[in-house]
Amino acid sequence: MTLPRKHLFDLPPGVIYLDGNSLGPLPKGAAERAQRTITDEWGGQLIRAWNSAGWMALPQQVGDRIAGLIGAAPGSVATGDTLSIKVYQALAAALKMRPDRRVILSDSGNFPSDLYMAQGLIGTIDKGYELRTPAPQDVAEAITEEVAVVMLTQVDYRSGRMHDMAAITARAHAVGAVMIWDLAHSAGAVPVDLAGSNAEFAVGCTYKYLNGGPGAPAFIYVRPDIVDNIQPALSGWLGHDAPFAMEPEYRPAMATERMRVGTPPIVQLVLLDAALDAWEGVSMAEVRAASQVLSERFIREVEARCPTLRLASPRDPQARGSQVSFAFDHGYAAMQALIDRGVIGDFRAPDIMRFGFTPLYLDEADVVRAAEILEEVIGQELWRDPKYQTRSRVT
């Protein structure tokens, strides 16, 4: 099957959705799956559904499906919690692997929550750890022998700039540092060769390109050859080797299952599982090729139509994830005006208009039409309308 496969999604009429990098749309069949889980399984089978409806196995099954999209082996990805929690788990485990070092290296383009979680962990341990955040392009040089852990988001949430996963990981390993990749804007967006990179940890969320729905569970990968030595910081009962033996002492479960914590959110997991059906038979190489066609076309159209917007993403498509950002001083208001006209992107402070390209449900005509509407908004200064100036809490 070729891309796009719009028929697999319930997209509202009249909307061009360029914000699948923030919250993916509703896949067809997902609502029905959730309904069945709520009514037949929870309602009809009650507590028995943990076994009879396969709820106990679901986190691992979904983890295996995600593994297939990020170049990881089956059994190496655990699902659950939020991405911030998974960042904390990975970072706490990584620091234990380099007890003699005190530097966590990230970059200034990392998503703030990743940095916040590092700050919280540093405060909790309280042994003089330091978080360094050079500019993204200076990271490689900043990887020195002081560094315990390099923790980066592969694709910058603002600019779409993409780190070279293999090169940065190799550099980290060359100085004896542990590597953590946040794949929030990579999973389902670009081909990821996680096993090939040899990184120790990766984390990610599933409500963006994977279309798992609002608050869908996160995931964590641990490299199979080291996982049996990981002593989880967040050692909850569902990461225990025998959760229902109710032993007084924590004993980690086999492999990446030990990174599970508490009772999994079954309804959200079912939605995610249904959403992953849309990836059956698609290769990430195919997605990447289509995404580059879409984003190159968008850049061309916008630059021709809206000269006041400045490209805030790398011009080289190989150096970009699956989004394109433009800087515009009135970006917040302009994005509201655009959304009001059915083209949904989002805004990221201070001045970034962000557009995600998701080839599962977007085609070139969508992209051209979006650029046309953007041209109206910018050219006619439609963003000056007072109603677009009031900031809400999201987007």
Instruction: Give, as ranges, the residues between 217 and 246 that touch a copy of itself (CB under 8 A).
Output: 217-218, 231-238, 240, 243-246
Tell me if 250 contacts a copy of itself by CB under 8 A.
yes
Residue 135 vs 285, nearer CB to a copy of itself:
135
Alpha-carbon distance of 257 to 382, in angstroms, equals 52
Question: Annotated catalytic, 363?
Answer: no
Interface residues for a copy of itself in 334-353 (CB under 8 A)?
Answer: 339, 344, 346, 348-349
Residue 123 vs 281, nearer CB to a copy of itself:
123
SS3 253: coil
Residue 8 vs 284, nearer CB to a copy of itself:
8
Please state the closest distance from residue 146 (CB atom) to a copy of itself, in A. Answer: 20
Pairing mode of beta strands 352-356, 323-327? antiparallel
Residue for token pair 């492999």: 255
Tell me if 134 contacts a copy of itself by CB under 8 A.
no
Q: How many chain residues bind a copy of itself (CB under 8 A)?
A: 95
The residue from 326, 354, 355, 361 that is catalytic is 354
Question: Annotated catalytic, 208?
Answer: yes
The residue from 65, 158, 171, 208 that is catalytic is 208
Among 155, 192, 199, 261, binds a copy of itself (CB under 8 A): 261
Interface residues for a copy of itself in 93-132 (CB under 8 A)?
Answer: 108, 111-113, 115-117, 119-121, 123-126
Q: CB–CB of 326/311 below 8 Å?
A: yes
Both tokens assigned to 117: 């979680």
One DSSP character per residue, 306-360 reads -TT-EE-S-SSGGGB-SEEEEE-TTHHHHHHHHHHTTEE-EEETTTEEEEE--TT
Please state the closest distance from residue 27 (CB atom) to a copy of itself, in A. Answer: 9
Among 14, 248, 281, 386, binds a copy of itself (CB under 8 A): 248
Among 169, 268, 325, 358, binds a copy of itself (CB under 8 A): 268
Question: Annotated catalytic, 102?
Answer: no
User: How far lies 33's CA from each of 207, 274, 277, 377, in Å?
Assistant: 17, 7, 12, 39
Name which of 321, 327, 332, 328 is nearest 357 in CA terms. 321
Pairing mode of beta strands 343-344, 346-348? unpaired
Facing residues of 152 across strands?
Answer: 181
Tell me if 387 contacts a copy of itself by CB under 8 A.
no
Question: Annotated catalytic, 182?
Answer: yes
SS3 269: helix
Both tokens assigned to 338: 């655009």
Tell me if 216 contacts a copy of itself by CB under 8 A.
yes
Tell me if 61 contacts a copy of itself by CB under 8 A.
no
The residue from 129, 207, 209, 361 that is catalytic is 207
Interface residues for a copy of itself in 272-331 (CB under 8 A)?
Answer: none
Strands of the sheet with 219-222, listed across from one edge: 77-79, 219-222, 201-204, 178-182, 147-153, 103-105, 130-132
Q: Is the peptide bond preceding residue 350 cis, with omega within 30 degrees of 0?
A: yes
Tell me, what amino acid is at 7?
A: H
SS3 367: helix
Interface residues for a copy of itself in 3-32 (CB under 8 A)?
Answer: 10, 12, 15, 17, 19, 22-23, 25-26, 30-31
Among 3, 16, 77, 83, binds a copy of itself (CB under 8 A): 83
What dihedral angle (degrees, nearest 10) is formed by the CA atoms of 115, 71, 63, 234?
A: -30
Tell me if 54 contacts a copy of itself by CB under 8 A.
no
Question: Annotated catalytic, 244?
Answer: no
Q: Which residues are catalytic?
A: 111, 182, 207-208, 354
